[in-house]
Structure 1
């Protein structure tokens, strides 16, 4: 009977570890996916600001709307403790994020505010996109400089 209980406990422990790893992988993919969405839409707006792509008010507005949408994603489930670059491969998140989570969330809020400003600026003309992009870039840099390992 003891052997059976020990075996069941071991199987339960292994099963719960596998389930956690699977959920953890989903969270990591989700947060990296949101950054890809941001990069694509910032690229659209950046291309217009640089003159590499012709300004299109509808496309600029759609890109800005997407950035606002991403800024509204609840970040808490995407950043489980232990999903930093020192604990796992495939991320550049520094452990300091979890030591200063209020600061991280404040920086995410600043990105959201800049995205909202971009949403307003995007449809007003190409000349408004550059300054709004500069502000958005500053919010990204503030977090990356502090909480992301260099390449």
Structure 2
């Protein structure tokens, strides 16, 4: 019985110490996971846009199957709804590691409209991706415009 009290005390101290260390490690940037998730989503979009763009520009041979796959992947990526990755306070003026401007949270209805345009442009690309490089090129204009509209307004330039 006398041994139980020191073990309980040691266990309690260990739990408190681990909890404090864990909390301190996340206190610097509580938004790190959300920022990483939204950046990963953007990378998937960019990767698939790159495949389609290369075909549209003639930098790679047009491949209907690959174009449809990239357009489908793009459609899925732009359809991911993850509001927890866009928490207020996770902008570049508050935390490091993001280019998201505070203006996103000051004008969220506009961000939503721009997101809806991106989704519509991705749907259009998915519809035409298998029909030829010319159709992919035409659809790339709308996609590029949708991406740049949001990035110009709500993303800080790269350093």
Superposed pair shares fold, TM > 0.5: yes
Tell me how large the CA RMSD over aligned residues is: 2.1
In 2, Cα distance between equivalents of 1:81 and 1:136:
27
TM-score scaled by structure 1? Answer: 0.85
Runs of 4+ in 1 over 3 A off after TM superposition: 10-23
| C-alpha distance after superposition, 1:42-94 (max 9, x if no partner) | 11001101111111001000000011101111141110111111011111110
In 2, Cα distance between equivalents of 1:51 and 1:131:
13
In 2, Cα distance between equivalents of 1:15 and 1:53:
48
Instruction: Tell me the equivalent position of 1:150.
Output: 157
Alignment check: 8 A CA contact 2:114 2:149 kept: yes
Moved more, 27-36 or 75-84: 75-84
Gaps spanning 5+ residues in structure 2: where? 1-15
In 1, Cα distance between equivalents of 2:69 and 2:114:
23
Instruction: Tell me the equivalent position of 1:67.
Output: 74
In 2, Cα distance between equivalents of 1:104 and 1:115:
16
TM-score scaled by structure 2? Answer: 0.81
Instruction: Tell me the equivalent position of 2:49.
Output: 42
Instruction: Tell me the equivalent position of 2:125.
Output: 118
Instruction: Tell me the equivalent position of 2:146.
Output: 139
Instruction: Tell me the equivalent position of 1:51.
Output: 58
Instruction: Tell me the equivalent position of 2:10.
Output: none
The structure with more radius of gyration: 2
In 1, Cα distance between equivalents of 2:69 and 2:30:
31
Given candidates 87, 96, 100, the residue that maps to 1:89 is 96
In 1, Cα distance between equivalents of 2:100 and 2:31:
14
SS in 1 for 2:31: helix
